[in-house]
Structure 1
């Protein structure tokens, strides 16, 4: 069966791009950004030549942009589904927190690869990735959730943007600690965090 164009590419080309992206995620997670070369990615993807990568991606920055976009979208979709299952804002906040740990449990390579990319941008060791890193670090949706919860009377938060940064910062630090020290009870850490922020957002 012939391939048909999708956004200017064939299904076969889209499948190859997806294969390269997944191989890059696995490579970043396994050996880190510094050692991640097109040759290493080829080994993971079982590609015969690095030319198959450069055919689809002009360079490492473009490939990392697509990797970041792929991970962020996958995580956002999972988080949105999880939050939508809750009927209260307190439940939605808990779902927001636990969804990060659920994603890390289900997709550990994706979580580790994203951490590598974010750290790379923070240290200014890569150009052209600032916008995708901002997308990965954005707390805008959480701010909206907290503000709506305040209006509904479920939360009492003087400054929702600051609280959103506190929530996300706590999540990121627990994730980083887990990746460094392989904490066994990740679900327990998630429960502790949800309990902490449930208490500090209680209405008077």
Structure 2
């Protein structure tokens, strides 16, 4: 016979279920149209249960982002830091992200909803977050430029353009666009845009 759930375990489970509920509703309705009451009701809890787990709206937003990025982020970072040529790693990065979007459409739509909400309501902190998320891509582009595999360009600008393209196309994939076609097109576009003429 299994032991009874402790208070801490019960609170942890409640919190996790509220995060799943929030992700589902953010994916369906967007952040601004999702109330605290709706999140609690979707998870089968009271408003009080929500407030005992999350003091501010930012906390639930962070928890939803952590749920997605906690799984995807390390995989993307490992792809960029792996062995092999820069363009091959760039292609793997694009493929890894978009494959996740196809396999986890609710999480993808929730993440993009949170990102869009923050871009609209807290532009300065959003810009800081974006800059931090681009650091591995910028490092990859700089490595490629040092080795001569990539042409000279602004690596921060290129990383930002790729990140925005991935967010946009990731949402389309999460809504049913054919992932293989999107991977192929984005890989070809950014390989062509960054490849050194000497390596073409």
Task: Tell me the TM-score normalised to structure 2 length.
Answer: 0.82
Q: 1:141 to 1:73 in 2, by over 3 A?
A: same
Q: 1:81 to 1:12 in 2, by over 3 A?
A: farther
CA distance in 2, matches of 1:68, 1:133: 16
For 2:26, which of 25, 28, 51 is the aligned residue? 28
Structure 2 equivalent of residue 43 of structure 1: 41
Q: Alignment partner of 1:34: what SS? A: coil
CA distance in 1, matches of 2:65, 2:127: 8
**Contact 1:65 / 1:132 at 8 angstroms: preserved in 2?**
no
**Contact 2:112 / 2:167 at 8 angstroms: preserved in 1?**
no
For 1:185, which of 178, 188, 192 is the aligned residue? 178
Structure 1 equivalent of residue 190 of structure 2: 197
- Cα deviation for residue 146 of structure 1 reads 0.9
Q: 1:30 to 1:133 in 2, by over 3 A?
A: farther
Q: CA RMSD in A?
A: 2.7
Q: 1:130 to 1:37 in 2, by over 3 A?
A: farther
- Are 1:175 and 2:173 an aligned pair? no
- Cα deviation for residue 23 of structure 1 reads 1.2
- Cα deviation for residue 29 of structure 1 reads 0.7
Stretches of structure 2 that go unaligned for 5 or more consecutive residues are none
- Are 1:119 and 2:113 an aligned pair? no
CA distance in 2, matches of 1:140, 1:197: 17
- Are 1:150 and 2:148 an aligned pair? no
- Are 1:75 and 2:72 an aligned pair? yes
Q: 1:134 to 1:15 in 2, by over 3 A?
A: farther
CA distance in 2, matches of 1:93, 1:80: 11
Q: Deviations over 1:58-111 (max 9, x none)?
A: 132221122223323322123234445652211111112222211211221111
